[in-house]
């Protein structure tokens, strides 16, 4: 069964996609925790970092390079920003499809 994020990518449910390339896509979080709150998501359904494999190495690195590019495009470089990924229920993961949160636009305490 496709994850929530895959359904958004396929247009089956709404979501505001702000970036897409061959390996990943990024969308605005529906419950933002900062003025800028994007999710960078691999197109391959990897449950979490804990479930990643050696063959996912290029995709994992790509997610962080895309986060850097998006942060730069939003002018977050000078003030700073936060990248977070949650692993498992106790780690705060609510969707079982790896995603990196890009948060910025205010001081992160």
Q: Give the pTM.
A: 0.95
CA neighbor of 107 nearest in space, from 79, 86, 67: 79
Is 104 contained in some domain?
no
Is 77 contained in some domain?
yes
Q: What is the pLDDT of residue 1?
A: 81
Is 100 contained in some domain?
no
Q: What is the pLDDT of residue 56?
A: 98
Q: What is the pLDDT of residues 39-88, one digit of tens each?
A: 999 999 999 999 999 999 999 999 999 999 999 999 999 999 999 999 99
Distance, in Å, from the CA atom of 25 to the CA atom of 44, rounded to the nearest integer, reads 10
Q: Give the chain's domain count.
A: 1
Which of the residues 19, 62, 99, 101 is marked catalytic? 99
Is 107 contained in some domain?
no
Is 37 contained in some domain?
yes
Active-site annotation holds for 62: no
Residue with tokens 């939003």: 74
Task: Determine the structural domain holding residue 40 and report its residue range.
Answer: 4-95
Q: What is the pLDDT of residues 3-47, one digit of tens each?
A: 999 999 999 999 999 999 999 999 999 999 999 999 999 999 999
CATH code for the domain of 83 = 3.30.428.10
């Amino acid at each position: 069964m496709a994850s929530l994020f895959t359904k958004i990518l396929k247009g089956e449910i709404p979501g505001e996609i702000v970036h897409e390339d061959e390996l990943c896509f990024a969308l605005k979080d529906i419950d933002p925790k900062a003025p800028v709150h994007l999710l960078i998501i691999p197109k391959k359904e990897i449950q979490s970092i804990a479930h990643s494999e050696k063959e996912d190495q290029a995709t994992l690195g790509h997610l962080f390079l895309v986060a850097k590019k998006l942060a730069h495009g939003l002018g977050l470089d000078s003030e700073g920003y936060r990248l977070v990924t949650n692993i498992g229920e106790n780690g705060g993961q609510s969707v079982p499809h790896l995603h990196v949160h890009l948060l910025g636009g205010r001081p992160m305490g």
